Structure 1
Amino acid sequence: MTTSAIIMIIIGLGIVTYLVGRARAVTLSQGKLSNMHSRPVYYGAYAAICAMLPALAVLVVWLIAAPIVVEKAVKTSLSETTQEISVATGNLTFGTVRAIAGGLTKLTPEELARAKAGEINLREILGARGVPLASETDPAMVAAAEDYNALNATSRMAMTGVVLLVGLLGAAFGLRRIAARFRARNGVERVILVALIAASCIAILTTVGIVGSMLSETLRFFASVSPSEFFFGTVWDPRFSAAGNANSAGQFGLLPLLAGTLYIAFVAMLFAVPIGLFAAIYMAEYASPMLRSTAKPLLEVLAGIPSIVYGFFALITVGPFLRDLSANLNGLVTGNYQSFIQAQSVLTAGLVMGIMLIPFVSSLSDDIITQVPRAMRDGSLGLGATRSETIKRVILPAALPGIVGALLLTASRAVGETMIVVLAAGVAARMQLNPFEPMTTVTVKIVNQLTGDLEFTSPQTLVAFALGITLFVITLCLNIYALYIVRKYREQYE
């Protein structure tokens, strides 16, 4: 039985248990609900929770533990029939066994018998039938695949029986607990409280897990490369060192990548902040309600466009336009029609990224400006100030902490952008101040280092985790500082 079918049976059991428990509570009340501690729906809900929650818990634990047990058993049987191999090769072999197990249903009994005897090339047969294999096979793998399928089938049958038995026992327990003075509502509310706490902890635990996994691989990287060389190095040239040639060791300098990241983010913010802030002021203070209700959603449509689309726009339109424009300007001034702005440059990436960030700046700033109390506007206008003076001297100072926090959050968004930089700024890791030349960022190099079928055993691949944890710390500091500014100064204007 499939997992989805088991879940549907558990849900059905919960519904039936709820109806039976509710009916039993109504019967016990003898027409007077005041005789019962809780309302009948709570008794039904308590019985349904007893039927569903333990069964779902057993199902989740089984689904997590069963593949581990089956994999260990199959690997043990393989190790008894093959010579000792490395961990990476063993994982590859097990992956092949799992692929063979998925393709055994496509074989006839005669083909299966010949494959077990090693008389046919199983890789070619399964590949022709839509089951590609990563490596060649042998009879031991076919036997292991059969064991794998048998163990999975046995595990599936046992899981179905155990889960349904637990569900029935839970339903019986919940229905038996129903009594006139039983505090069913308290039990249901405790379960809901635990569920709310678990939901609130998911984000925290996920963050802890991400940081922990990245930190462990980062420490492995720093075991091979000095932290001072990484954080203060000025050359980014990660490559494997040739045997016996110490001069060919890779260099993992962070500074060129960090400079490119901050430079492109600065250019993007230089373009997005004035336009986004002026748009927010206009929509909050000058636009009519009809215009605001139309213009703001249209402006926020930019936030829903995928970043890869902005990258295409930069690569095909903005970059060539800036290159041709610079060539024409140079020709008019000097007579030499050679462009001084490259199609892939800091300016191109910053300009397109700034367009992407405009709705973030405008939407956040608009919400903050509209939260300034109306009494402050009316008081300033009543004292004879014009609308522009009110905006400059009253509204913007009152909203400034929130606006600064919004800008810092937008900057953290710009620091983590990848696709626009890949297509619009290039992959050249260099330190220079010319915005018309290409540069690259930390996120681009993370993608480069993790592209392909790689094993995380060399500094060339482990450096991606060091770059990731560095970028995480930068964006985390920006977000914390933004929240600090907002919380520190917000109360002055409430």
Structure 2
Amino acid sequence: MPVIWIIVAVLAIAGAGYILGRQRALARAGGDRRALHSLPSYYGSNVALKVAVPSFLLLIAWMIVQPFVVENAVSGMIPQSEIDEGSSLGLVMAEVRRAATGLENAVAQGVITEDFARNARADITDITQRLKDAGQIVTSDITQTILRAAQRYRLLSATGDMMMAIAVLLVALAGALWGLRESVPLFRARNVVERVMRAILVAAASVAILTTLGIVLSLIFNTIEFFRLYPAWDFFTGTNWAPSFSGRGGSSELGVLPLLWGTFYISLIALLVAVPIGLFSAIYLSEYASKHVRSIAKPMIEVLAGIPTIVYGLFALLTVGPLLLAVFGKEGLGWMQAGTAVMTAGLVMGVMLIPFVSSLSDDIINSVPQALRDGSYGLGATKSETIRQVVLPAALPGIVGAILLAASRAIGETMIVVLGAGAAARLSLNPFEAMTTVTAKIVSQLTGDADFASPEALVAFALGMTLFVITLGLNVLALYIVRKYREQYE
């Protein structure tokens, strides 16, 4: 049974349990709600929660554990000679999974029968050709061993899915019976439901915390592994970025300084574009614009935040780059050699960041109490003086947060840099030269057939850890500034 149908079945049982639990509680109370400890809806919710929560927990746990169990059982069928030919057990198992998926899809399309797919004596050439006829991706060097492992993998997965569906539905029915049994007038259904909902909320909050912890630990462990293979001093002080995948990194130069410089340089230009325009537009929308103008201008500015970054990258490559080249290139001032440059990426990234600064600053300025403005006007200050000397200082903590958010967004941007700034890692003050950033190199280092035991692949995690520490430092700085000014104006 597909997972979606299992979920639908559990929800149906939970819905039926809610109705039956509510009706049973009222029936046991003789139809008098005053005889119940809790509202009837709590008794129904108690049944629904006892159906849904254990069932979904079992479903999630089963879906996480089953692939490991199946792969562990199937990997024992792969002889060492097959692993040597495939270079690693992971690559062989990837081929097994691909063949198993091909068999499943071919059976679903009717190209082969179920008995033929499970036939242990099926001819390898025949079944491979049938899979290709069904449009399945199967390599030409698939062996009899991989085919047998794929058949075993498919059989174990199907058996596990069936057992999962049965177990989940049995748990759901057991939860329904348990909840219905508790639907009596003296049962404290409200207390139980509130405790369960609190546990669900805590679990939801824990997911975000554990995910962040997992990301950080992954970066830390892989960064440590990288520094075991490559000197940390050379990484943080090197001024040349020249990775070489020959000889497992023996000739690579992996200095991070050119990448950090490109990241900060492009982000600085983007902020020089976004902050003044975004802040001035926020002041106009909140203090000067009429309601009609504001209702039109604010949504139009926020549309910029919904444009995919790949579109901005193409805009930088096809429009802004050639336009700057026409002005600053050989036919103009002669400062620019190609359309991909720091200035190209910085200008387009600045346009992308305008709604981040504008929308957040506008909300912060609108949250400043009107009493501060009225007091300033009462002392004889003009509108511009009130904005400059009262409103903006009061809103400064929020504005700093908006600018820091835009800075973090700029530092983490990838597609605009890849298409608009070029791929050259260099230390230069010329904004009309091509440069690259940390994020762009993380993508390039992990693209293609990379050996994850080599420094060239592991360096991506070191770059990510460096970027994480820098962003964390920016957030700490922003928190310090916000607290300092908030104490001044409260």
Give the direction of change, closer, same or farther, for the CA distance of 1:93–1:400 in structure 2 (3 Å limit).
Answer: same
- Once the two structures are superposed, the pairs formed by residues 284-363 of structure 1 within 5 Å of their partners are 284-327=286-329, 330=332, 338=334, 340=336, 342-363=338-359
Equivalent of 1:414, from 406, 410, 415? 410
Give the direction of change, closer, same or farther, for the CA distance of 1:122–1:453 in structure 2 (3 Å limit).
Answer: farther
Please list every run of 5 or more consecutive structure 2 residues that lacks an aligned counterpart in the other structure.
Answer: none
SS at match of 2:125: coil
Residue 86 of structure 1 and its aligned partner are, at CA, apart by 8.9
- Once the two structures are superposed, the pairs formed by residues 79-158 of structure 1 within 5 Å of their partners are 79=79, 85=84, 89-104=88-103, 105=107, 106-107=111-112, 116=121, 118=123, 120=125, 122-134=127-139, 136-158=141-163
Q: Residue deviations 1:230-261, cap 9 Å, x none? A: 11111001113448xx9x61000000000010
Cα distance in structure 2, aligned partners of 1:211 and 1:372 = 37
- Once the two structures are superposed, the pairs formed by residues 310-459 of structure 1 within 5 Å of their partners are 310-327=312-329, 330=332, 338=334, 340=336, 342-459=338-455
Coordinate RMSD, CA, aligned: 2.4
Cα distance in structure 1, aligned partners of 2:450 and 2:436 = 22
Give the direction of change, closer, same or farther, for the CA distance of 1:285–1:88 in structure 2 (3 Å limit).
Answer: farther
Cα distance in structure 2, aligned partners of 1:50 and 1:330 = 74
2:213 counterpart letter in structure 1: V
2:198 alignment counterpart: 193
**Length-normalised TM-score, structure 1:** 0.92
Matched, 1:208 2:213: yes
SS at match of 2:76: helix
Preserved contact between residue 283 and residue 365 of structure 2 (Cα < 8 Å)? yes
1:288 counterpart letter in structure 2: S
Preserved contact between residue 117 and residue 151 of structure 2 (Cα < 8 Å)? no
1:259 counterpart letter in structure 2: W
Q: Residue deviations 1:77-136, cap 9 Å, x none? A: 233x85664996222222222222233323358976998365626444422321112461
SS at match of 1:351: helix
Preserved contact between residue 116 and residue 122 of structure 2 (Cα < 8 Å)? no
Cα distance in structure 2, aligned partners of 1:329 and 1:120 = 63
SS at match of 1:78: coil
Preserved contact between residue 409 and residue 482 of structure 1 (Cα < 8 Å)? no
- Once the two structures are superposed, the pairs formed by residues 68-87 of structure 1 within 5 Å of their partners are 68-79=68-79, 85=84
Preserved contact between residue 15 and residue 48 of structure 1 (Cα < 8 Å)? yes
Preserved contact between residue 43 and residue 189 of structure 2 (Cα < 8 Å)? yes
Residue 463 of structure 1 and its aligned partner are, at CA, apart by 0.5
Cα distance in structure 2, aligned partners of 1:473 and 1:489 = 25
Give the direction of change, closer, same or farther, for the CA distance of 1:167–1:86 in structure 2 (3 Å limit).
Answer: farther
Residue 275 of structure 1 and its aligned partner are, at CA, apart by 1.4
Q: Residue deviations 1:345-404, cap 9 Å, x none? A: 111111111111111111122222222222222222222222222222222222223222
Q: Residue deviations 1:42-71, cap 9 Å, x none? A: 112112222232222222222222221111
Between stretches 480-489 and 363-372, larger displacement belongs to 480-489
Preserved contact between residue 14 and residue 52 of structure 1 (Cα < 8 Å)? yes
SS at match of 2:78: helix
Give the direction of change, closer, same or farther, for the CA distance of 1:83–1:131 in structure 2 (3 Å limit).
Answer: closer
2:279 counterpart letter in structure 1: L
Cα distance in structure 2, aligned partners of 1:389 and 1:308 = 42
1:334 alignment counterpart: none
What fraction of aligned residue pairs are identical, expressed as a percent?
A: 53
SS at match of 1:363: helix
